[in-house]
Amino acid sequence: MKHIFEQKVYFSDTDNYGVVWHGAYLRWMEMGRVEFCNSLGYTLKELENMDILLPVSSINIKYKASAKLEDTVVIETEVSDFKGLSATFKQIIRSKQTGKIFVQADVVIVAVHSNAKLYRHIPEPLGTLFEREVKCPINV
């Protein structure tokens, strides 16, 4: 399943030249991963109550072009790989108007307990859901 949402570029997302600051893309990608989990039926609060936290362990990001003030960007998020201990999200941010890609990223997350101890495997029900997403992706 690919989760897709739109975000307008506001002044607070840009630098003095009206170009999107590089950190804004990271914030939008975080929003995409959170909404992806929500679409699977689990909010961050529910996961926290289950003692599951999902920190980012690595990001490979390619900045390809710059979004600008008042653009509308489309953030696409899907699970592209699942290895039991970690899951990789493929994320693309593009222009709604032109389809031009601004950013492509692979974001690897792991699962930890609230005391920061690493789980040996991403716990259920997320493990099964992430595995299913990799084997049978369905675009929505």
Strand partners, 112: 53, 118
Contact 75, 93 (CB under 8 A): yes
The reply to whether 15 belongs to the active site is yes
Residues 21, 29, 7, 126: what is their CA dihedral angle, to the nearest 10 degrees? -170
Contact 96, 23 (CB under 8 A): no
Measured between alpha carbons, how far is 37 from 130 in angstroms, rounded to an integer?
10
- Residue of 15, 51, 71, 106 marked active site: 15
Which residues are identified as catalytic? 15
